[in-house]
A and B are shown apart, each in its own frame.
Chain A
């Protein structure tokens, strides 16, 4: 029995940790697939429940890798969320305290070391320059805030994993040990007590811990949207039990409970209004800013706010089935679908730690055996520093450059570039009622050239009404409607419903039918009062060899020219009349199509209607390209044809009915899907029934993709420039070196700048259309 489960993991410090944990979980028996998200601090595991359970996987992670892990499947969603938030707050607080302690120690160490160089003798007590004092100050820093790097390294190496902790631990550890050697054996040849190295270790730790603090802080902000959504959940509800009102815990609600929601209160779960009338603010779920009117029979979404009247709702979906829970789940899972662009980044960062150590070794060997003799001169300067490097032996000089390479090369910025942007983009979309199924969908949506829009339910409201009734010479108008409505009574097609509704409004009594059969794309057949009825389009009549009189055919063309769908009614092989039905356009269809075209995309309308009707409707909206008379099962074929012409196609339609076409398209956009998000086939789901959200979805995708590209560009540029400089490329011409502490600062800045750049997406607002 395969099940999908989430495991929260604490203590990951960078994407390498996530990758390592992923590798470990994958080796466990019964695990089918696994994705670990560093920004979400979660593992999404598909496992065979008969072999291994989620709790067991979590326990193995903790026992073998040392990360605190707990399975969420056994916990209430809210408790898991609260625990995550609490853990995150604790992590931020811990790193903040570490950062404060580190700087309180690192600054005196720095002042003591550079007392003479910086002319601070008058202000800084001489005792601070004593290398034993510096050792004493640096030691608690190494074993306090710096301990996390060594613990992380040990944890990783124990299982053959390497991550950024190793880079930091080797760098700071080497600097600290050099400092001790210089202190204990000043004449050992490492430059003596004046080349302390303690300040290198201390400042390095201080910068790195500061980087971790800022990263924890910004990472929390990036996932704020999900937490905000989870925070919308109501804790209690007022239900009617045994005829009396009772306030109960949200988890005690069962399907079918009647819930009373007063004005100003949140609707606790998804349901249907049974009594009352009110306006409901759904902005937090759908992004719709104007409150939506709700009356008996209307669906309501949990966590939305009842603005005006008292309503009684029947609970329809509770717990994990509610729209809110599904949205949260959707977004979390969406962040795991990686775009192609990340593959390169992944490949690079996966090999990075190994490559960096190889480079560090090569750098050491070069400077030890050749570079030092060729280029070294005492009095060399460090970049952005007044510190001067005194005469040091080849080994110290080469180790120094080697350490700097290790420190400057953390792949965190590369690793963070894509997931952080996807997280911000998908969360921003969700805020606006646009659910994007991950990085892959974002990437594809940003490249769309042709947008195919299904007509019924997408461009139009999908609720047609009867507009024309034309009888043949030997039939009665009422009889035409009665026969058609009786036949359609068994149909669930919207056109049929329009005819039945019209007949009911006229108080007609429908006849009993038998042998009902829907003929997809053509119409229906049924036996009504002993008569064989066919109701459908021209091709149905042609198939049944029933000729349409010329006068009626002409009228049919006229009605179709007006954009109406015309059905022909035949009884016992004779045409009885025509029934014209028209669907009304959605308010924003025209605006949305115009905007799509203005953005350079080609809009195509797809419909089962005949050419004439389809063209008339398309003309009203401003669409030139129409694919008419397309049977439902042929929709995907039509998409394929456009793709064969070399276009990237998006299909907009009903998430459930148009599933094959939505899947065939590069991007399937399901619109106004109601609450069945989990069932949707689309890569993008528009919660709100508003076509303008398509534009926002494309726009947001482009913005997110450009953010990913910017992030990757800067992350790679940083490493491409940083590593050669750290390796000493500037040394032969300029006698300039990068100090390990400056490398530490660069590293922290690169990660933080990538995250901050991503956070600019938070300010994104869809352009008004």
Chain B
């Protein structure tokens, strides 16, 4: 999985969302650097999970349709 297209798409998307978070966080007052690290890490992890499971989730529906079609 680690070398296929969905992984890199998910990675790209997660990095993009994390970057958005960093930009948003930097414009907020009273933010410590650790807030930034922890927040970025958390956003990245959740985004990665979401974007990784999304294509599989969509593919699963595709399989179901294919299966229904066969029968």
Contact = CB atoms under 8 A, between A and B. Distances in A.
A161 B54 CA distance: 10
Q: Chain B at the A interface: mostly helix, strand, loop or mixed?
A: helix
B43 A364 contact: yes
Interface stretch (A86-94, A351-359, A429-437, A583-591): A351-359
Interface string A338-370: 000000000000110110011011001100110
Given A361-B50, A393-B35, A368 B25 contact: yes
A158 B43 contact: no
Contacts of A27: 63
Contact of B24 (A160, A369, A395): A369
A361 B48 CA distance: 11
A234 to B, nearest CB: 39
Interface string A373-394: 0000000000000000000011
B57 A398 contact: no
Nearest to A19: B60
Contact of B31 (A351, A364, A394, A399): A394
Contacts of B25: 368-369
Contacts of B64: 26
Contacts of B45: 170, 174
A364 B46 contact: yes
A513 to B, nearest CB: 49
Interface string B42-71: 110111011011111100100110010011
B50 A357 contact: yes
Given A162-B53, A393-B32, A357 B46 contact: yes
A396 interface: yes
Contacts of B38: 178, 190, 395-396, 399
Given A23-B60, A399-B42, A357 B32 contact: no
Given A23-B60, A23-B63, A32-B70, A364 B53 contact: no
Contact of B1 (A26, A158, A369): A158
A408 to B, nearest CB: 16
Given A368-B39, A395-B38, A26 B67 contact: yes
B63 A159 contact: no
Interface residues of A, number: 38
Interface string A161-178: 110001000100010001
A136 interface: no
B50 A358 contact: yes
A161 B56 contact: yes
A33 B68 CA distance: 9
Contacts of B24: 369
Nearest to B6: A160
A170 B67 contact: no
Counting contact residues on chain B (CB < 8 A from A), the size range is 20 to 34
B1 A353 contact: no
Q: Chain A at the B interface: mostly helix, strand, loop or mixed?
A: helix
Given A23-B60, A32-B70, A354-B57, A395 B39 contact: yes
A547 interface: no
B53 A174 contact: no
Nearest to A27: B63
A236 to B, nearest CB: 43
A365 B21 contact: yes
A231 interface: no
A157 to B, nearest CB: 7
A694 B47 CA distance: 54
A520 interface: no
A189 interface: yes
Residue of A23, A170, A396 with most partner-chain B CB within 10 A: A23
A631 interface: no
A361 B34 contact: no
Residue of A350, A353, A358, A361 with most partner-chain B CB within 10 A: A361
Residue of B24, B32, B47, B49 with most partner-chain A CB within 10 A: B49
B53 A354 contact: yes
A189 B34 contact: yes
A402 interface: yes
A394 B39 CA distance: 9
A188 interface: yes
A517 B47 CA distance: 76
B7 to A, nearest CB: 9
A33 B57 CA distance: 19
Interface in B6-54: 6, 21, 24-25, 28, 30-32, 34-36, 38-39, 42-43, 45-47, 49-50, 52-54
A157 B42 contact: no
A158 B4 CA distance: 11
B42 to A, nearest CB: 5
A395 B34 contact: yes
Contacts of A26: 63-64, 67
A161 B55 CA distance: 10
A565 to B, nearest CB: 45
A398 B56 contact: no
A160 B50 contact: no
A326 to B, nearest CB: 25
A364 B35 CA distance: 12
Interface in A22-43: 23, 26-27, 32-33
B47 A361 contact: yes
Nearest to A393: B35
Given A189-B32, A189-B34, A393-B32, A170 B49 contact: yes
Interface in A552-593: none
6 contacts: A19-B60, A188-B34, A364-B42, A368-B35, A394-B31, A395-B34
Interface of B: 1, 6, 21, 24-25, 28, 30-32, 34-36, 38-39, 42-43, 45-47, 49-50, 52-57, 60, 63-64, 67, 70-71
Q: Which 7 A-B pairs have the closest CB atoms?
A: A160-B56, A395-B35, A395-B38, A162-B53, A361-B46, A189-B34, A395-B39
